[in-house]
Structure 1
Amino acid sequence: MAELVTSLIVTLAFSPVIRAAMLRHGVIDVPNHRSSHSLPTPRGGGWACVAGVLAAAGVAAWRHTDVPLAALAAALVLALVGFADDRSDLSAGARLTAQILAGLAVGGVTGGIAVALVGAVLYPTAVNVVNFMDGINGITALTMAVWGVTAIAVGVTDHVPGVWVIGAATAGAALGFLPWNAPRARLFLGDVGSYLFGALVAGGILLGWHGGARVSVLAAPLCFYVADTFVTLAQRATRREPLLSAHRDHVYQRMVRVVGLSHTVTALSVACASALVTAAWVWADVRIASLFSVVSVLLYVGCVRLAGAARGTTSDT
């Protein structure tokens, strides 16, 4: 598919350019006691992904394919918001307002008030879930590749062109960025990248829902991202810890810190599990797919404790 290949090549080519620019302007992630990394690394790599996504959209337009301009524009705007947060730590209120407005705008253009209200919930949810989960090498690039390929398949088979265009752009950008982020990170996505990918996911799901595509399949690759985010936030709320402060409490972070898995093994495990759950929703009966998803999520959420029990220890902190 030309759009996917274009996005991949452009992202891959722009990544060293962006890395040099981030180093020159001091956009560096400096590790602290809450980090999952040990070396200062430039962030802002999401700009290379932006270039890839825009290039893919250009190819789709050149091929006279229906390009979802509103969803792509919202993704670009939120990428800018993410980069502003990378540079100057925007307030939570400002970030949330931008995400809600983006969802309202895309939903309104797509299908009126009802779709706008769905967008106002979907965009902040997707953007923040991806942002919270982007904490180790390769995890977001691999998961977004799975989501992108899924969106291509759903968009083509369910005849919603905008969905497969977004899917191709997303998968290509994720795969093009991956060599710069894993197994050794030379560049981080930053909030510019996580906001971009979160907005692309939200836009693809919103377009799919409005166009009658299988939303359950489109959402399936994110099941572990969503479960990890909400379980972690619930645990922190129970312990009366600040929800938005930096931490290493996510399941995938504890898989690295407590169980001792590498970033690569952890990221691949999450991505492969996401692909398996998605496959269940594509080929299995709804009841079987639902049961498989629930069991898979429960095993994921409890995997650190299970690993501790297997080794004869009880702590998973």
Structure 2
Amino acid sequence: MPISLELIGKVAAALGVAFLIALITTPVVKNLAVKMGAVDVPKDARRMHDHPIPRMGGLAIFLGFLLSALVFVPMTGPLRGMLLGAVIIVILGIFDDIYALGAKFKLAVQIICALVAALSGNVITDLSNPNVFSADLYWHLGWLSIPVTVLWIVAMTNAVNLIDGLDGLACGVSSISSLTLLVISLLVGEPTVALLVAALAGGCLGFLPYNMNPAKIFMGDTGSTFLGFVLACISVQGLFKMYTLISFVVPFLIFGLPIFDTCFAFIRRIAHGQSPMHADRSHVHHRLIDMGFSQKQAVAVLYVITAILGLSAVVLTTSGPVKAMLLLLAFCAAGAVALSVFNLNNNRRRSHDEEDEEK
């Protein structure tokens, strides 16, 4: 379907409805979280807040997304499977935000939800061959399609959960990723995917004002696992269906930040002889804080990185890999210069502070 005024209107309506529902229901969810005991009490160095804050705010994002999707998106088998899996994920998240469930139990339920989505039609049947010199343009996964899809969905579910460490970080990154998916789905003619990500972006943007630093409410596992699950399922419905190089690269650009942070965290923990699920304070956002960035600055930096990766994905889709690579390299060079300037100024400030203390 070509981009038309009717489609643009539906996309705007889907985004607007989800935005308003999330914006209106978040205060209600906040009060509900307090009554149910879903409150994050700072008890270790990983927490960036210094007072109890309600969590479970992801329920408002879910409500905005669900109601908007039911109104604007045609109901199909894959969509039913995704929504059923999302409902289970949200229920799991609510119980986890209240009772702090075990990691193995949560992983088992996530696998079940991913299977529900995959067996309903949200499945990666082919992957473009990353070897550009091969005569085979793409791989037929065959019987591997289900396990590969489940692995992708579970990995993304936990990847978004792991970056939820600063006020507004996971919600903002998910908003940017959703808007990137929205642009790409419109460009490649995927109206159903466009409506879905519009509803998801609207839910995130409606919740974001309450979640920005200083946060009034956290999305909790209810929100972070839901966002990761739905983003993974939507990418399966849209991006992985294209038999070109972009079907392999684009998802890894759009979700580059959570994917990198998760892979780096797992490698770091295994190298230290720890369980990959062991929580620590060495995520990308923690490292930015340790470098001297404030919470707002660290979140802004990670927003910019996500936006750059998203823009590169859009350029890759529309203009090919060469221009996308040049754009990405230019942004990386500019980022390296900016980081060097920040470190230089930060070191100078510390030196001045030390001199003042000596005097």
| Structure 2 length-normalised TM | 0.77
Report the equivalent of 1:252: 285
Report the Cα offset of residue 99 of structure 1.
Answer: 1.8
Report the equivalent of 2:137: none
User: 2:97 & 2:37 partners in 1: Cα distance?
Assistant: 11
User: 1:297 & 1:25 partners in 2: Cα distance?
Assistant: 45
Code of the residue aligned with 1:235 in structure 2: it is R
| Structure 2 residue 92 is matched with structure 1 residue 57 | no
User: 1:296 & 1:124 partners in 2: Cα distance?
Assistant: 30
Report the Cα offset of residue 287 of structure 1.
Answer: 4.2
Change in Cα spacing, 1:300 to 1:68, as seen in structure 2 (3 Å) is: farther
- Conserved in 2, the CA contact under 8 Å of 1:105 and 1:116? no
Report the equivalent of 1:81: 92
Change in Cα spacing, 1:288 to 1:235, as seen in structure 2 (3 Å) is: farther
- Conserved in 1, the CA contact under 8 Å of 2:30 and 2:55? yes
User: 1:296 & 1:36 partners in 2: Cα distance?
Assistant: 29
- Conserved in 2, the CA contact under 8 Å of 1:151 and 1:166? no
Change in Cα spacing, 1:291 to 1:127, as seen in structure 2 (3 Å) is: farther
Q: Could you report, residue by residue, the CA deviation over 1:70-94 in whole angstroms, capped at 9, with x for unpaired residues?
A: 2222122112112222222322222
Change in Cα spacing, 1:152 to 1:281, as seen in structure 2 (3 Å) is: closer
Report the Cα offset of residue 270 of structure 1.
Answer: 1.1
| Structure 2 residue 26 is matched with structure 1 residue 15 | yes
Report the equivalent of 1:183: 213
Report the equivalent of 1:128: 158
Report the Cα offset of residue 298 of structure 1.
Answer: 10
Code of the residue aligned with 1:100 in structure 2: it is I
| Structure 2 residue 13 is matched with structure 1 residue 2 | yes
| Structure 2 residue 273 is matched with structure 1 residue 240 | yes
Report the Cα offset of residue 294 of structure 1.
Answer: 7.7
Change in Cα spacing, 1:233 to 1:7, as seen in structure 2 (3 Å) is: same
Report the Cα offset of residue 309 of structure 1.
Answer: 7.3
| Structure 1 length-normalised TM | 0.87
User: 2:333 & 2:81 partners in 1: Cα distance?
Assistant: 36
Report the Cα offset of residue 29 of structure 1.
Answer: 0.2
Report the Cα offset of residue 295 of structure 1.
Answer: 8.6
Report the equivalent of 1:286: 321
- Conserved in 2, the CA contact under 8 Å of 1:2 and 1:59? no
1:68 partner SS = helix
- Conserved in 2, the CA contact under 8 Å of 1:8 and 1:173? yes
Report the equivalent of 1:261: 293
User: 1:274 & 1:249 partners in 2: Cα distance?
Assistant: 19
2:238 partner SS = helix
Percent identity of paired positions between Structure 1 and Structure 2: 24
- Conserved in 2, the CA contact under 8 Å of 1:154 and 1:218? no
Report the Cα offset of residue 231 of structure 1.
Answer: 1.4
- Conserved in 2, the CA contact under 8 Å of 1:223 and 1:297? no
Larger-gyration structure (1/2): 2
Code of the residue aligned with 2:187 in structure 1: it is T
User: 1:124 & 1:300 partners in 2: Cα distance?
Assistant: 31
1:171 to 190, 196, 201: 201
Code of the residue aligned with 1:51 in structure 2: it is L
- Conserved in 1, the CA contact under 8 Å of 2:55 and 2:220? yes
User: 2:104 & 2:313 partners in 1: Cα distance?
Assistant: 36
Q: Could you report, residue by residue, the CA deviation over 1:33-58 in whole angstroms, capped at 9, with x for unpaired residues?
A: 23121111000001111110111112
